[in-house]
A and B are shown apart, each in its own frame.
Chain A
Amino acid sequence: MSSDVRFTDFKSDAQPTWCPGCGDFGTMNGMMKALASTGNHPDDTFIVAGIGCSGKIGTYMHSYALHGVHGRALPVGTGVKLANPDLEVMVAGGDGDGYSIGAGHFVHAVRRNVDMSYIVMDNRIYGLTKGQASPTSREDFETATTPEGPKQPPVNPMALALAAGGTFIAQSFSSDAQRHAEIVQEAIEHDGFGFVNVFSPCVTFNDVDTYEYFRDSLVDVEESDHDPTDRDDAKEAIFETGAEYQGVIYREDEAVSYTEQHGVDANMADIPDGAPDGATDLVREFY
């Protein structure tokens, strides 16, 4: 792949309609930088976007892309990658898209460990539908549909991913541009399912999970003795401390990706203009 790709090559000419200051800007910039710095080219990249404010990312980036149905982005990315493993596949969507309507797919995409990256733009709110509780909203977060808060514990994406057998589990913050791009880059480079939950504040509908809140509370695992290849360290970070972490929480370096596991390596778009050689053997089997 050509090395002269700049991150702006991944930018489309569409003008984002996100609210000024929306966390999704920073999240997208980091994704573009990470794609460029890993040597990818828009013509060999496929982006799948969910539905939500976050899902608009497919429009604002330049590559092969599909902006699909709410909650089903991961299956689409799975199909793209398996049909042509040479493509770089990145899936992006919101916390509602990934952990509510698409939660079933999340668990199975993690298990399947297809070599692609999944970026969840987590603003702990439903942005596009104008401010209802999301599965990552705090228990007491008041919204129009939850006047006294959801009164349910929020989903813990890191815990879900670990329980499902995740091989790369990370968290980043859209306004920490440098770290965010690095972490997404690692997810791309990971040989398997690279999952990054990105805190991407919604400045319009979420007044608790704000830039300020994350800036004050985020702890970078890099700054401690956290060993991301140690499952116990990962468990402790996820379950015990109650802090908001950024960085690679867990990484399994020996993980074998789905395509390798199943010997899927062909570009399935390449087919002959008639039945494939040896197809008559299929008829003979029925004698």
Chain B
Amino acid sequence: MYSDFNWAIGGEAGDGINSTGKIFAQALSRAGRHVFTSKDFASRIRGGYTAYKIRTAVEPVESIVDRLDLLIALTPRTIDENLDDLHEGSVIVYDGERTTMQNVEIPDEMLGLDVPLKRLAEEAGGAIMRNVVALGAACEAAAFPIDNLDSALQKRFGDKGSAIVENNQTAARAGQDYVRDSYADREFGYDLECTDADYVLLNGDEAIGMGAIAGGCRFYAGYPITPATDVMEYLTGRIERWGGHVVQAEDELSAINIALGAARAGARAMTATSGPGIDLMTETFGLVATSETPLVICNVMRSGPSTGMPTKQEQGDLNAMLYGGHGEVPRFVLAPTTVAECFHRTVEAFNLAEKYQIPVYLTADLSLAVTEQTYDPDEFDMDAVEIARGRVVDEESVAEWQADDGKFKPHAVTEDGVSPRTIPGTSGGAHMTTGLEHDEFGRRTEDGGMRVEQVDKRARKVDTAREREAFEPREFGDPAADDLVLTWGSSEGAMREALELLDERGVSVRFLSVPYVYPRPDLTEAVAAADRVVVAECNATGQFADLVEYDTLTRVERINKYDGVRFAADELADAVAAALDDDTTTTEVHA
């Protein structure tokens, strides 16, 4: 008996898979259980298949695993797609009256629950509720109290009126009763215990959106693209409550320039996109950086290059963010490592952008974006949010930064590299700035001396940030272990769970999860102290591993996964064990 329970609903795109899955995740969260969800677009056969998967436990869950305990299969393919993960005793709920499901074969060692989903839904008020009937059936099979589902249905359909809510609750009971009556002699062996805890359930894009509002962002411009669109959709309808606004631009060339304009006007502004949009935004990136405009550019990575695999996971844009654009200019790159981190690092991104007047890449990826995860609401403590706007000068202090003739110096060469900033409307602060190399006043220059001063000044901002900020890795595992594992961004959760699995095998490692790619923590000591260093990341070439080798002048072992699916904890544990076991330096993982 496992302490976690793995549930999924799968069917064709258009079957309402996501919204049904979300309702069940909400019900589990309301029951005080932890939830970690994933969306499966990962067809091994052909397009169209989609599934929503939930891993739930009383303890926090932070990764997917390759095991499925209960599957609601709306199509025969759903079963085929999941055969590897289903096991002896797995429950499969299906509607044997559905034409396509009539001849479906349930593997012998599994328990098929043939429930007339459509018929029961019609009796309850409409065929559209067929998935909800299945949820009721799932509650029965998993011994999960159905009142939690009632509560989730209320949340989902409450704004449509009480009749709709009640119909859905009736439909759920029909499913529950059917299983209870027709499979009375069956022992399923599951028991989803409830707790008194109150959790919130959200995904990475939502956490980024919420972090943006908390962190003072009032302006967003973007162009829709998977998997970043949810950030825009989250902000739309919410940011206005605080006087903010969201613009849907005509393309990403425009989106970043609109956001840049808002930032020059003094707003905390953001845009979000994914790889193809990053390519377009790279045109204006240098202008943002050299005009020293505070801007947060969120890159929710997906598989590339070009249109790549748009609904698949990858961490392939690290180099594009670090080095993208012609010329040389500093930028920051932050990579939140969990859904909650998406919130915290977003708040920080806005502070860093303004304190150092620099563009900040805030990079999540598909797996963070689509994962709904439960947290204690205190994790998102709004009272703890602090906003630091850096060297903004007002009408009183502007004189300190003017030349004798009263002209303001937006690019004053300072010891810490940070120049004064006036918000338009501040009298005495009018100035221009430009993508051309400029002097302290923002006027074009080709003077070699001033060029060098400005380049050095911009670079000094990074040194200053290194001194003033804590760009620390997150530490897990055994700090005294001989071997070190490093990840960046979203792989933290899988690796944390992998630590436990490795522990069971007697393998103990130190694990550092890095949320700051640039400026990044100094890993020299940790690497020097380790016998072997393993870097795991979702790309083919090991872009982060390259950085670690560059920084520490030490060869590392690499685990690279680029099949479009994030790491699962058990798979990652195997890969780490294998990397530590032999002397190959690259392990490719394919699920």
A residues whose Cβ falls under 8 Å from a Cβ of B:
12-14, 41-48, 58-59, 62-69, 72, 75-84, 86-87, 104-105, 107-108, 262-269, 271-276, 278-280, 282-284, 286-287
Contacts and interface: CB of A to CB of B under 8 A. Distances in A.
Interface stretch (B139-147, B167-175, B197-205, B356-364): B197-205
8 contacts: A13-B405, A46-B424, A59-B444, A68-B287, A80-B424, A83-B263, A105-B253, A286-B202
A68 B257 contact: yes
Given A68-B287, A287-B200, A269 B261 contact: no
Contact-residue size bin, chain B (C-beta under 8 Å from the other chain): 35 or more
B257 A83 contact: no
Given A43-B428, A279-B213, A83 B254 contact: no
Interface in B409-452: 423-436, 443-444
Contacts of A77: 261
A127 B380 CA distance: 55
A66 B425 contact: no
A105 to B, nearest CB: 6
A284 B238 CA distance: 13
Most chain B Cβ neighbours within 10 Å, of A68, A264, A265: A68
A67 B198 contact: no
A283 to B, nearest CB: 5
B424 A79 contact: no
B427 A43 contact: yes
A274 B387 contact: yes
A43 B431 CA distance: 9
Most chain B Cβ neighbours within 10 Å, of A12, A105, A283: A283
Interface of B: 29-30, 155, 198-202, 206, 210, 213-216, 218-219, 221, 238, 240-245, 247, 249-251, 253-255, 257-269, 283-284, 287, 291, 377, 380, 382-383, 385-387, 405, 407, 423-436, 443-444
Contacts of A86: 425
Contact of A75 (B29, B257, B407, B429): B257
A87 B268 CA distance: 17
A64 B424 contact: yes
A269 B265 contact: yes
Nearest to A67: B434
A283 B377 contact: yes
A283 B380 contact: yes
A76 B258 contact: yes
A286 B218 contact: no
Contacts of A84: 265-267, 424-425
Contacts of B435: 67-69
B251 A82 contact: no
Contacts of B423: 269
A282 B215 CA distance: 13
Contact of B216 (A68, A271, A287): A271
Contacts of A62: 430
Nearest to A84: B265
B162 to A, nearest CB: 20
Contacts of B429: 43, 64
Contacts of A59: 432, 434, 443-444
A78 B247 contact: yes
A76 B261 contact: yes
A264 B245 contact: yes
A61 to B, nearest CB: 8
Contacts of B428: 43
Contacts of B259: 79
Contacts of B383: 274-275
Contacts of A81: 261, 265
A87 B264 CA distance: 12
B382 A82 contact: no
Given A66-B433, A80-B261, A282 B238 contact: yes
Contacts of A83: 218-219, 261-263, 265-267, 269
Nearest to A41: B427
B351 to A, nearest CB: 11
Nearest to A265: B243
Most chain A Cβ neighbours within 10 Å, of B266, B387, B424: B424
B382 A280 contact: yes
A263 B266 contact: no
Most chain A Cβ neighbours within 10 Å, of B201, B258, B386: B258
B253 A72 contact: yes
A155 B334 CA distance: 44
Contact of A58 (B206, B263, B380, B432): B432
A43 B257 contact: no
Contacts of B265: 46, 79-81, 83-84, 87, 268-269
Most chain A Cβ neighbours within 10 Å, of B214, B262, B430: B430
A67 B387 contact: no
B380 A266 contact: no
B218 A268 contact: yes
Contact of A72 (B254, B266, B385): B254
Contact of B425 (A87, A265, A282): A87
Contacts of B247: 78-79, 82
Contacts of A272: 216, 387
A263 B430 contact: no
A269 B433 contact: no
A12 to B, nearest CB: 8
A266 B267 CA distance: 10
A279 B386 contact: no
Contacts of B377: 283-284, 286-287
Contacts of A65: 430-433
B257 A76 contact: yes
A67 B433 contact: yes
B264 A76 contact: yes
Nearest to B424: A64
